[in-house]
Amino acid sequence: MNELKPVEPQAPEEMRALAMGLRRLLGKHGFSGVRDVSGTCGLSRTTVSDALGGSRAPSWSTVSALLKCCRVQPDAAWRRAQEDAKAAEREWRRRTRAGDASGPDPSPHTAPATAVPGTFTVRAPYGELPPRVRGRDGLMAELQRALTADRDRIQVLYGLGDCGKTTVALGLARLAKDQGHQVFWLSAATRDSLVTGMRQVARDLGVPEPRIEEAWSGRASATDLVWHALDGAQRPWLLVVDNVDEPGRTASLHGSPGDGTGWIRPSGAGLTVVTTRIGNPAMWGGEATCRPVDVLSPEDGAEVLVDFAGNAGPMADARALARRLGGMPLALKLDSRTGTRPGCSSGPSSPRGSKPPTRRTCRPARRSARKPRQRSGREWPGPTNWGVPGIWTRPGTSTTPFWALCVAWTSTFGAP
């Protein structure tokens, strides 16, 4: 790759490392320059030049295309390198706009963005906590004990999506806050949200800004810096890392999620809690306790419906609806909310006590743009796509109990 200019010297280490890695790989496979790579890989010359020059972090699709041209399988290590480069680029540009980075503007193609107030937070979203965490008394008791007596083990809450893992963690966060713990709530939905959250944790713990800048520029270990601060914290703390459905994002370079060297570690100074869909103990290592979060029983599901929609009908109907919704807390919550909106009518002047709506007389309040899935030849709109029937309150309309209408709806269309 002798035809290329040197890698941008002022770019962050992560960007330069990725550019140099791609250069070495392409050179090893006989590519001579930008034009050669562009013609073979089907990428524009500008895209190739930016990716190999280190001035702009390439997208994952660009990296994948370059790797495939060399007959190299895009793997987790390359993905991590690309994500690190992207995160470093965002921070580099932020610092440049703020005027605290030397050198020319690293983004000559775009005008500097106007600075806006930061809204990122590591405060737990307590407003999403339901009136009561139903059906989790045993699990909450175990987590409460861990908060005070077993803090040196990571608590991994695993289960299906939308089964209530986040709600359990949020209930624990409220309890810890009430007991005087410092609570940090992070999302690992993306690598950037995790890394940005950990940076804020370091700030909240009083780490000097120059040391943070040193670590986040790649000149020191950011993971070790944050955990040194957590281990030395004066107040007990609770760290919740939510949505860790791709554990590789939490690992250190060349490490694994459960080896204790990445972003998720145990500490005697506080408790670390993870929510994830992956419950394999081998993934989380020997310092973690994996706790399943199952769906709710019909009885607890009925109580969730009552919590959100009020006592709108017989509990037997509420239990039947909870059973049809599979005991999934999020589905129950959405069902109770949409159930307060009129969704069906038995006709323009339905008398009191009329029969529940049928397929012909019931119309969904709102349709999803996606095609409803098929089940045994019947269409199920689902609680998150179409509103379920509610109670008509206008004069001259049906006042059939809410639960009866919901059960009639699911009986007509089938349940997922």
Most confident of 115-124, 134-143, 305-314, 398-407: 134-143
Q: What is the predicted pLDDT for the residue at 357?
A: 39
CATH topology of domain 126-292: Rossmann fold (3.40.50)
pTM: 0.56
306 contacts 319 by C-beta, under 8 angstroms: no
Secondary structure of residue 185 in the 3-state scheme: strand
Secondary structure of residue 90 in the 3-state scheme: helix
Query: Percent of the chain, pLDDT > 90?
Result: 36
Tokens 């959100």: give the residue. 308
Scored b (16 or more CB within 10 A) or e, 294-325 reads ebbebebbbbbbbebbeebbeeebbbbbbbbb
Q: Report CA-CA distances (Å) from 57 to 29, 47, 49, 113, 155.
A: 22, 10, 11, 18, 35
Summarised one tens digit per residue, pLDDT across range 370-401 is: 444 443 333 333 333 223 333 333 333 333 44
What CATH code is assigned to 13-98?
Answer: 1.10.260.40
Domain boundaries, the chain: 13-98, 126-292, 298-413
Which amino acid does the sequence have at 41? C
Tell me the mean pLDDT in the region 337-354: 39
Summarised one tens digit per residue, pLDDT across range 54-91 is: 888 999 989 999 998 888 888 888 998 899 989 888 88
- 1 pLDDT band, cuts 50/70/90, is low
